[in-house]
């Protein structure tokens, strides 16, 4: 179909190359997603990564899980790959001699005055109390056991081993990839490496004028090789339709020898007629802005 996104055509249109798979901390062959909605597991609290909480699988998208910490509201859902080191089967925490924690923050129950002083005494299991549950130290453990008892726990075999880090940052300026939009983390979008600095990579979302761009480490689990979404049957966003260039084309470019980051972004579905934009060429030959 004309409006279906094709990396093959897009790479041609933008004279760009995909980042090779060896750049990424992702399995060469994506794992299967053997989770089911409603299953419970243990997850590191994204807002407090040292604490491990009970979470429920709210949805499946490709090989990612939409997770919600039990006791947290629906505004703090987060997404993890089935081979993420941030998730583990129920019981792992106890096995390791760690304590399960209630989720942190406004959505969590820590702010509930009824909970004051209770959490420190919470045993290894934590499940949020139902509304109106009156916590007291003696009924709490029983409640936890009963609630987990009725729940389906994700089987150990569903958790896949996290792939190893590539030995070094192999990303280079201008390479294309698929990346999680951190502001809308259910979305994976076409993106371009805008800069590389040490172990960090600047991820630029094609056609979004920089509004969603971010720096991440090269071994981030939020970046994927071109083709990943199609391979894992995750939906891939279209590039944005903004030209990603200054609105007014400067008469005299400030520094013609240094291509701006923005000029790397690939116009996709530009308005017709096109504004007089500098011709994008020689993407492959360009040097990174900074390699130090
Ligand atoms: N409604 C949001 C969605 C933006 C998504 C951008 N990603 C795909 C880079 C907005 O328009 O701000």
Residue 53 is predicted with a pLDDT of 86
List the chain residues with pLDDT less than 50. Answer: 105-127, 130-137, 139-140, 245-292
Question: Which atom of ligand 1 lies nearest, measured to the CA of 184?
Answer: 5
Rounded-to-integer distance, Cα 62 and Cα 93, Å: 27
pLDDT of residue 238: 96
The pLDDT value given to residue 106:
39
| 144-150 CB contacts, 8 Å cutoff, 24+ apart | 148/40, 148/54, 148/90
pLDDT of residue 146: 64
Residue 104 has a pLDDT of 59
Per-residue model confidence as pLDDT tens digits over 170-205: 999 999 999 999 999 999 999 999 999 999 999 999
Please name the residue whose Cα sits nearest to atom 4 of ligand 1: 184
Measured distance CA(211)–CA(160) in Å, rounded:
33
CA of 146 to the centre of ligand 1 (A): 42
93 C-alpha vs ligand 1 centroid, how far in Å? 37
pLDDT at residue 144, as a whole number:
62
Distance CA 222, CA 250 (A): 35
Give me the interface pTM, i.e. the ipTM: 0.93
Q: Which residues contact 194 (CB under 8 A, 6 or more apart)?
A: 173, 202, 203, 204, 213, 261, 264
What's the pLDDT at 269?
Answer: 39
Ligand 1 atom with the shortest distance to the CA of 211: 9
Handedness of CA 204, 205, 211, 213 (dihedral sign): negative
Give 244 Cα–ligand 1 centroid separation in angstroms: 14
**What pLDDT shows up at residue 147?**
64
Q: What is the pLDDT of residue 64?
A: 98
């Amino acid at each position: 179909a004309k409006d279906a996104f094709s990396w093959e055509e897009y790479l041609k249109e933008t004279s760009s190359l995909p980042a090779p798979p060896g750049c990424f901390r992702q399995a060469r062959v994506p794992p299967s997603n053997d989770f089911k909605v409603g299953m419970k597991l243990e997850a590191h609290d994204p807002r407090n990564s040292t604490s491990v909480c009970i979470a429920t699988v709210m949805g499946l998208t490709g090989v990612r899980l939409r997770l919600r910490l039990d006791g947290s509201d629906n505004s703090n859902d987060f997404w993890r790959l089935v081979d993420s080191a941030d998730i583990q089967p129920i019981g792992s925490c106890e096995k390791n001699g760690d304590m399960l924690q209630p989720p942190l923050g406004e959505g969590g129950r820590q702010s509930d005055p009824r909970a004051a002083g209770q959490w420190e005494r919470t045993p290894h299991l934590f499940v949020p109390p139902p509304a109106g549950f009156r916590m007291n130290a003696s009924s709490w453990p029983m409640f936890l056991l009963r609630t987990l008892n009725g729940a389906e726990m994700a089987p150990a075999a569903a958790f896949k081993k996290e792939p190893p880090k590539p030995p070094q940052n192999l990303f280079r300026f201008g390479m294309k990839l698929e990346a999680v939009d951190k502001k809308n983390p259910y979305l994976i979008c076409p993106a371009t490496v805008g800069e590389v600095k040490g172990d960090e990579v600047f991820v630029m979302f094609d056609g979004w004028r920089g509004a969603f761009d971010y720096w991440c480490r090269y071994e981030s689990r939020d970046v994927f090789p071109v083709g990943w979404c199609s391979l894992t049957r995750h939906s891939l966003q279209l590039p944005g339709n903004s030209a990603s260039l200054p609105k007014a084309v400067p008469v005299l470019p400030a520094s013609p020898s240094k291509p701006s980051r923005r000029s790397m972004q690939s116009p996709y579905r530009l308005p017709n007629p096109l504004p007089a934009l500098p011709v994008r060429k020689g993407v492959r030959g360009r040097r990174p802005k900074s390699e130090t």
